[in-house]
Amino acid sequence: MEFTFTGTVIEWRGPAPYFFLTVPEDDSDVIKEAARGQEYWGQVAVEVRIGDTAFTTALFPKDGRYLVPLRVAVRREAGIEPDMELTASLSLASRPG
């Protein structure tokens, strides 16, 4: 199942800065239902495409919604900066089986 959404890139300052793409709450609810039984510690493995950049990651649950972690290599390749509005497509990663 594929999901497409638009969200904002946020910076989360911790011991090191992390960047995430926010998944809207309604989309997060639909993804959570579709991923039932595939979560691991609340995270959901996904394949993501932003423009021409594709990568795998795990959605991070935060305050009732999901966040898509954006690694440095992904941000550089796609030209992603904080506060950008991005449209992303994601699908649940296939489970080994």
Instruction: Give pLDDT tens digits for 65-94.
Output: 999 999 999 999 999 999 999 999 999 986
> 25 φ, ψ to 5°?
-55, -45
* Residues β-bridged to residue 3: 90
pTM: 0.88
CB 87 within 8 A of CB 38: no
CB 52 within 8 A of CB 65: no
Query: What local confidence, expressed as pLDDT, does residue 95 receive?
Result: 57
Neighbours of 13 (CB within 10 A): 7
CATH architecture of 2-92: Beta Barrel (2.40)
